[in-house]
Amino acid sequence: MVVLGLIWLTNLYNFMDGIDGIAAGEAISVLLGAGLILFLKGETNTALLTWLAIFPVAGFLYWNWPPAKLFMGDSCSTFLGLTFGILALITATQGKMSIWTWVILLGAFIVDATWTLVTRIVTGQDWRAPHRSHVYQKLSPSKAQHKKTSILYASTTTLWLLPIGFYVEMTESTPFFYLLTFIPLTIVAYKLRAGQNAQ
């Protein structure tokens, strides 16, 4: 199960790297949030290491911010996805932060990529073929919307998912809070017909 989770996280981050600024912006938001939760739990050293990982991503984002002059590509996006998976495993096995808190923080990417892929499979599409039916692609049909969409994803992580992740981490809450995270995101994916090409 762990191996499958790592494989999926690695690939979904690659799937989500499709417009200027979105993958790097999301990475910074997740790292900031995870570091803050770790810091407030007293895991100062791990928090600082998590925050240090922001600097190379921020350096890249400077050039990748819309309109981008530099692009991430498969090797970088898959590396980021795998890095998040490894960080989640390390902090979970050391009892510093639950793996489910990482799942919450990465919820916007997880729901978008998972819903889109499952929809494409269920509707009989060639799920391996290139497409433009992710939620973020529906929100940014042209380059003019890239900045707005990238900010929306980063803001969702910071303002919606981080508070839920913090509460769940500090209180060891029931699965209700996982539903609180994913139901609104899933509704958005459904309403925007993610995974379905425009008719």
Binding residue positions: 14, 74
- How far apart are alpha carbons 52 and 46 in whole angstroms? 10
Q: Residue type at 96? A: K
Handedness of CA 14, 19, 20, 22 (dihedral sign): negative
Q: Residue type at 113? A: A
Binding region for Mg(2+): 14, 74
The answer to whether residues 9 and 81 touch, using CB atoms and an 8 Å cutoff, is yes
Q: Could you give the 3-state DSSP secondary structure of residue 11? A: helix
The answer to whether residues 104 and 89 touch, using CB atoms and an 8 Å cutoff, is no
184: left (phi over 0), alpha (psi -120 to 50) or beta: alpha
The CB-side HSE value for 51 (13 A sphere, CA atoms) comes to 12
The answer to whether residues 81 and 11 touch, using CB atoms and an 8 Å cutoff, is yes
Nearest to 184 by CA among 158, 163, 161: 161
